[in-house]
Amino acid sequence: MFLAWREIKYSKTRFALIIGVVILIAYLVFFLTGLAYGLSQENRMSIDKWEADGIVLADESNLNINMSMFPKGQIDEIEATEKASLGVASSVAQPAGQNDEDSKVNVTFFGIDKEEFIFPEVVEGEEFSADREVIADISLKEEEGMAVGDDLSLAGMDLTVEIVGFTENAKFSVGPVLYTNHSTYQQIRASGFGEREEEIISAIVVRSDSEELADVETNRDDLNVYSTSEFISNLPGYMAQVLTFGLMIGFLVLIAAMIIGIFIYVLTLQKSSMLGVMKAQGISSAYIARAVIGQTFLLSFIGVFTGLGLTLLTGLLLPAAVPYQNNFIFLAAITGLLIIVAVAGAFFSVRTVVNIDPLEAID
């Protein structure tokens, strides 16, 4: 390590360029990871917020909650440790009195009961207590400038709702969620599917004492129970997005390691005569190889951690509209992987060091 550090200090410009490349690649990998994680979380935030084990949907819905409909009374036929009725409807909302396109927001309404476990924690304002009152995701305040007391008109409906409170981490399919009571949800649902005599819901969210939902019984052929993880995996576009970003980040890690390995290999070839003199003086190949590996570790360590620091700083400066979130487990894993794979790539240079003939290198 002593030899490696002395050479880095001697050739500052050369190694600064290598570290700069590592920083840029690491920054790109970390930033893309944050974007990928943020996007995936905005698809499922409101679902994770339930802390539920499973969800009951109509058999014909094909795991699409927007296509699932059945009478609310059927919740009594579900046997589970805890259960909560849920109505889901999508709409376009904008502040009442405004007609410009920029003010329109795609939202999802969750019709819920206040007494059930999926009711959200209010961080600003108060809980809804009457029809046409909603608790909104905080992103509507941070990104759209809405506030408690604002009225929202819904596209295609003669219906206005009032924001009475805000909650955190309530997004579904990348859009903000508006929580309301079942009465208001029935009015919204009726605009798209027509009036019905009985109350209709989209799903029943359940908690189970068994990890495999063994104690959840639907007692009906037209209802199916699915685990929360299975339901999330089948959200439209969710898995395609996760796999795409996963492959992209994986290839970036490999490319970063290859670039570092190539730089070190070229540097080793350029130093062949110097390494030959060192071997002629009796310095062992093992000592020189350890210096090469140590040098690669130092370069990758400095570059990767600097890139990580820049990424964390960027995350603090990004506007709320950017779907960026840090997962420190992912960041730690990628940090370790980048350094380990880069050091592994340095073993190609070690092979060159071992094969150097002192007499040929000196000539």
How many Å apart are CA 179 and CA 167, to the nearest integer?
9
Task: Indicate whether 229 belongs to any domain.
Answer: no
pLDDT value, residue 166: 96
pLDDT in tens, 2-12: 555 666 666 67
- Residue 200: pLDDT above 80? yes
How many Å apart are CA 33 and CA 28, to the nearest integer?
8
- What is the pairing mode between strands 82-95 and 105-111? antiparallel
- Do residue 144 and residue 205 come from a single domain? yes
Among the residue ranges 65-79, 250-264, 299-313, the one predicted with the least confidence is: 250-264
- Do residue 93 and residue 200 come from a single domain? yes
Task: Indicate whether 233 belongs to any domain.
Answer: no
Task: Indicate whether 247 belongs to any domain.
Answer: yes
> Nearest-CA neighbor of 162 among 139, 118, 130, 189?
130
Task: Indicate whether 227 belongs to any domain.
Answer: no
User: Where residue 22 falls among pLDDT bands split at 50, 70, 90?
Assistant: confident
- Do residue 40 and residue 60 come from a single domain? no
pLDDT value, residue 358: 66
- Do residue 97 and residue 196 come from a single domain? yes
pLDDT in tens, 125-181: 999 999 999 999 999 998 888 999 999 999 888 889 999 999 999 999 888 999 999
Mean pLDDT along residues 321-325: 85
- Do residue 36 and residue 114 come from a single domain? no
Long-range (24+ apart) CB contacts under 8 A made by 124-129 are 124/148, 124/165, 124/166, 125/163, 125/164, 125/165, 125/166, 126/164, 126/165, 127/164, 127/165, 128/164, 128/165, 128/179, 128/180, 128/181, 129/164
How many Å apart are CA 43 and CA 238, to the nearest integer?
7
- Do residue 144 and residue 105 come from a single domain? yes
- Per the model's pLDDT, the better-predicted residue between 85 and 352 turns out to be 85
pLDDT in tens, 31-44: 988 988 888 888 88
3-class DSSP state of 33: helix
- Do residue 206 and residue 61 come from a single domain? yes
pLDDT value, residue 290: 80
- Do residue 202 and residue 346 come from a single domain? no
How many Å apart are CA 160 and CA 355, to the nearest integer?
79
- Residue 361: pLDDT above 70? no
Mean pLDDT along residues 53-57: 92
How many Å apart are CA 363 and CA 346, to the nearest integer?
26
- Do residue 317 and residue 341 come from a single domain? yes
Task: Indicate whether 231 belongs to any domain.
Answer: no
Mean pLDDT of the chain: 84
pLDDT in tens, 66-116: 899 999 988 888 888 899 999 999 999 988 878 887 888 999 999 999 999
- Residue 14: pLDDT above 80? no
Task: Indicate whether 329 belongs to any domain.
Answer: yes
pTM score of the predicted model: 0.81
103: tokens are: 């003010």
- Do residue 309 and residue 245 come from a single domain? yes
Domains in the chain, number: 2
Task: Indicate whether 153 belongs to any domain.
Answer: yes
- Do residue 160 and residue 192 come from a single domain? yes
pLDDT value, residue 251: 85
pLDDT value, residue 108: 94
pLDDT value, residue 152: 93
pLDDT value, residue 296: 81
Domain limits at 332? 2-44+239-362
pLDDT value, residue 3: 57
- Do residue 67 and residue 210 come from a single domain? yes
pLDDT in tens, 212-253: 676 677 878 889 989 898 999 988 888 888 888 888 888 887
